[in-house]
Each structure stands twice: as C-alpha cells, then as structure tokens.
C-alpha cells in the first residue's frame, strides 16, 4: 500500500503560506493537510475556502504546482461548505461523522462536486457509529477514514496511542481503504501507526517545527515502511 505524509499547514507560518507549502512539498511532503475549524465544532478558528482559493492560485502561478489539498473540515454543518471548497480547489473533503445527520447524502454531494471523500472520527466516538446509519456502512462508501489521535482543535497535542485499536479494526475490515492518522504523529509515534495499518500520516508540529524538514520527512517515511 502506498504511504502518504501529509504535512498539516496549521503549524506553518500563515503569513508565508504558499512559500511554506511549496517548501514542505519540496522537502518530501506528499499532500497538504488543510485544517478547517469554525469555533463551533471545535474551540478554535482557522481558515476557510477563500484562503484555500488564494493558496491554490498562488501555488499554480508562482510555483507551477498542482498540489493535493486534503481538507479536514472540523466544522458544524459540513454540507454548507462543499460547494465553496470544491470551487476553491480542494482535492479531498473530509467531514466529521459527529457533525452530520445524513452522511450518505453528504458523501454523494461531495462526489458530485468532484472531490474525494474522507470521514473522520473523534477520539470519543466509537467506530460502530459509522455503521449506524440505517443499513449503510459509511466506511464502505469513502476514499479515506481519518482516525483522530488527539482531540480535534489544536496542533501540538500528545498522541493518543489507544486510538490505534480503531485503525486495526478498520484495516481488518477494509484491506484497501486509505487510513489517515492525525494528531501527535512524529518520528516517535509513526511506526506504531503504520504497524496498526495506517498509510496516511498527518504531521504539523513534527514537520514544521523541525530544523530540517526534509530529514524529518525522510525519517518518517523510513519508519512507516
Ligand atoms: C488537530 C488537527 C491536526 C493538527 C495536527 O485538530 O486536525 O491536523 O494540525 O497537529 P500536530 O501534528 O501538531 O499534532
Ligand atoms: Zn487535521
């Protein structure tokens, strides 16, 4: 299975966002992880579609780069933002299972707008919730499952190792599904994530606060093999 390192731009210097993104991709980052927070679903406020749109445009015009924009929507009513994120250039739209009453309709809407679909699960949410919508197993309908390994809201928190049970369980049931872990992932924790079955690793602090981004990403990739 292909592994992805997804640097979380939450830990980048927002005043130099495009340059930071360009540099982190050059350092070996595979996909840009864009953390969208609305101050309701989580107690923090970050960025929305207008900033993504400017970033996508600048990356194209100044750096001739079509990056993969993995957007993690930590927002109430994710339905409201599908259109804007698609128009802004999002590649993937990951919503929280806790934030929507009708994930099946939401998944269809996201696909209808040409984006890949991810579904995310907070630490306190049992995996069984994803199977609780009528007869529909949500994980069988998406491109990616995001298992939060911290409480969503902030970068720089400590990794919650017990969340890897969820990763193991998903991997057992879905051998081919992309499984992303997000929160506290670093050179110290990535190996256990990979062994549990994750293949997409979000890292904010561990990469952007490192002295040598390329060396850190290379080390993470080697540990995840
Ligand atoms: C947390 C975000 C994460 C965060 C990870 O709510 O979803 O993507 O940026 O940051 P680190 O890697 O610093 O834990
Ligand atoms: Zn995230």
- Annotation marks residue 182 as catalytic: yes
Ligand that comes closest to the CA of residue 150 = 1
Q: Which residues pair with 195 in a beta bridge?
A: none
| CB 205 less than 6 A from any atom of ligand 1 | yes
Residues of the chain by 3-state class (helix, strand, coil), percent to 5: 45, 20, 35
Ligand that comes closest to the CA of residue 159 = 1
User: How does DSSP assign 190-223, residue by residue?
Assistant: HHHHHHHT--EEEESHHHHTSS-HHHHHHHHHHH
**Residue 38 in 3-state DSSP?**
strand
Position 136 pLDDT exceeds 90:
no
When the pLDDT of each residue in the chain is averaged and rounded to a whole number, the result is 97
Position 149 pLDDT exceeds 90:
yes
Position 88 pLDDT exceeds 90:
yes
Position 125 pLDDT exceeds 90:
yes
- 58-81, pLDDT tens digit by residue? 999 999 999 999 999 999 999 999
Cβ atoms within 10 Å of 10's Cβ, excluding its own = 22
| CB 157 less than 6 A from any atom of ligand 1 | yes
- 13-47, pLDDT tens digit by residue? 999 999 999 999 999 999 999 999 999 999 999 99
pLDDT at 131: 86
CB 84 within 8 A of CB 48: yes
Kindly name the residue from 35, 70, 84, 143 that is annotated as catalytic. 35
| CB 156 less than 6 A from any atom of ligand 1 | yes
Annotated ligand binding at 33? The verdict is yes
Question: Could you give the ipTM of this predicted complex?
Answer: 0.99
Report the distance separating Cα 73 and Cα 153, nearest Å: 11
Report the distance separating Cα 70 and Cα 30, nearest Å: 10
Cβ atoms within 10 Å of 6's Cβ, excluding its own = 25
pTM: 0.98
């Amino acid at each position: 299975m292909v592994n992805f390192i997804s640097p979380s731009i939450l830990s980048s210097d927002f005043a130099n966002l495009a340059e930071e993104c360009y540099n982190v991709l050059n350092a070996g980052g595979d996909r840009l992880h864009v953390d969208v927070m609305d101050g309701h679903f989580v107690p923090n406020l970050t960025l929305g579609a207008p900033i993504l749109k400017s970033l996508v445009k600048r990356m194209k015009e100044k750096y001739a780069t079509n990056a993969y924009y993995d957007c993690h929507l930590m927002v109430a009513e994710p339905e409201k933002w599908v259109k804007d994120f698609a128009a802004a250039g999002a590649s993937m739209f990951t919503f929280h299972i806790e934030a929507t009453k009708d994930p099946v309709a939401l998944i269809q809407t996201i696909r209808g707008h040409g984006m890949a679909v991810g579904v995310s699960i907070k630490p306190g949410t049992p995996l069984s919730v994803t199977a609780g919508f009528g007869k529909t197993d949500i994980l069988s309908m998406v491109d990616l499952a995001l298992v939060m390994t911290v409480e969503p809201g902030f970068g720089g928190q400590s990794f919650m190792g017990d969340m890897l049970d969820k990763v193991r369980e998903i991997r057992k049931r879905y051998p081919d599904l992309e499984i992303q872990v997000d929160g506290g992932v670093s050179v110290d924790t990535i190996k256990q994530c990979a062994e549990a079955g994750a293949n997409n690793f979000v890292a904010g602090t561990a990469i952007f606060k490192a002295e040598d981004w390329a060396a850190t990403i290379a080390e993470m990739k080697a540990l995840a093999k």
